[in-house]
Structure 1
Amino acid sequence: MLSIAYGELIQIFRNRLVLVTMLVLPAASSALYIYLHQRIPALAVGGVAAVLIFLVVAMGLYTTTVTTLASRRQNLFLKRLRSTAAGDTGILSGLLLPVTAITLVQVTAILTVLGVVAGGPADAILLAVAVLAAVAMMLGLGLATAGVTNSPEHAQVTTLPVLLGTLAVSGWVGFTGTEELTLVKRLLPGGSASELIVNAWNGGVGVTDSLILLAPTLGWVVVAVALAARIFRWEPRR
């Protein structure tokens, strides 16, 4: 797995499109939100944190996951890996470990800057749990989306619904709360995770009540992984 991960890390830094998608766009978007917070102090910090995190995990982690798996399938790299001693789980873990690690570094750096600018989170541990839940959800959705993505170019289309949807939900929940349409907002992909991020940053909500919000997010992980197990393909469709 580690040898696969090392090779994939090299490929990431050789692919300019993936590098821009994964590093430049989320970082630039996050810098914009941090700038807006400085210009508009009334902007809710918890909501900003939720949107920043989903910018990174959706634009960086999710889209790169789909593009990477589609590319490796198209050039038959996935098929060749399955002929080695590595198991399916080890192959996928090795391919996705670098992008996941880079995403976590990005999120940590961005939230650290936001904390310096606007004050740190009320509960850093709860925030870490929320971030890991969001990462797990987007990885699962990435695996599922890769199952219906024929090529890296096709990924530009197949990723749009989840990409735009999770970003819209994170902003909706982050800046309007869940006092209205509570169930709808929490059940949408990214909704409960965004609320958990807001609670962790702003405080004022009990840990037990906040951890209940993990259930919808983990539910999406289960659904996405189950769907991926049915539709993910290791070879190009003929």
Structure 2
Amino acid sequence: MVGIARSELVQVFRNRLVLVSGLVIPVAVSATFVYQHETLADQASLGYIAAIMLFIVMAFGLYTTAVTTLASRRQNLFLKRLRSTAVGDVDILIGLLLPLTAIALVQTVVILAVLAAVAGPPADVAVLAVAILVLTAMMIALALATTGLTNSPEHAQVTTLPISLLLIGVASWVGLTGTSELTTIKQLLPGGAVTELVMGAWNGGLPLTDALQLLLRSVGWVVVAVVAAGRFFRWEPRR
């Protein structure tokens, strides 16, 4: 597993497509949000800025790059060759996805730290950390599921777009309009509960019971994504 992860880390920095989608785009967009934080905070809140930047990093930096990477490894039969070794399936996937996950989490920490430095720290770091981890798990599972519907690395730019736009759209809707209206609908949408959890963790004033309810609904989407991953993920190309 460690050897696979080390090899994948090298490949990440050699692949221009992965570098652009996984590093350049999230950092550039997040920098814009940080630069405009005063204006955006007046329109919504600092919690919204934190949430939307988190979703951008996870959608492009983790989800899209993971699908691209897995589709590429499957297309060149690297996944098939790995399965013929003594390494188990779970260890193979961990090795392949660990570098991308680590990079996305480092990006998230750095970007949110910059926001905290210029605009003020979050009210509840622990809840924020839990929300980040739950979203990370959901995005990894969604990446595995989407890979099963993706024929090639180039095709990944198409297959990942609907979920990426949906999640960022939900985060924007919840962040800009709040949950005083259509509360249940917004929280049950994919990413809706996580968005509110991040906003509450950053802005403060989130009761423990509400946080637990949001966490439960967020974990529910992780379960859905894991089930979808088990259903759709393929180790070999379609014949």
TM-score by length of 1: 0.97
Quote the residue 2:49 is aligned against: 48
How far apart, in 1, do the equivalents of 2:156 and 2:40 lie? 36
* Cα-to-partner distance string for 1:99-134 (whole Å, 9 max, x where unaligned): 000111000000000001110000011100011111
Q: Identify the residue that residue 236 of structure 1 maps to in structure 2.
A: 237
Percent of aligned pairs with the same residue? 63
Helix, strand or coil at the partner of 1:121: coil
Unaligned runs of 5+ in 1: none
In structure 2, what residue type is equivalent to 1:26? P
Change in 2 beyond 3 A, CA 1:203/1:78: same
**Match in the other structure for 1:91:** 92
- My pick for the range that moved more, 41-50 or 105-114, is 41-50
2:42 counterpart SS class: coil
Structure 1 runs of 4+ off > 6 angstroms? none
Q: How far, CA to CA, are the matches of 2:202 and 2:108 in structure 1?
A: 14
Task: Quote the offset at 1:39 in angstroms.
Answer: 4.5
Give distance in 1, aligned partners of 2:40 and 2:185: 29
State the distance in 1 between where 2:204 and 2:38 align: 21
Q: How does 1:94-109 map to 2 (within 5 A)?
A: 94-109=95-110
* AA at the equivalent of 1:113: V
2:36 partner SS: helix
**AA partner of residue 133 (structure 1):** V
Q: What amino acid maps onto 2:100 in structure 1?
A: V
RMSD: 1.0
Deviation string 1:26-53 (CA, Å, 9 cap, x unpaired) is: 0000011111113455141001100010
Q: Does 1:129 align with 2:137?
A: no
Q: 1:188 to 1:39 in 2, by over 3 A?
A: closer
The structural deviation recorded for 1:183 is 1.3
Q: Normalising to structure 2: TM-score of the pair? A: 0.97
| 2:32 is the alignment partner of 1:32 | yes
Could you tell me which residue of structure 1 aligns to residue 121 of structure 2? Answer: 120
Q: 1:79 corresponds to which letter in structure 2? A: K
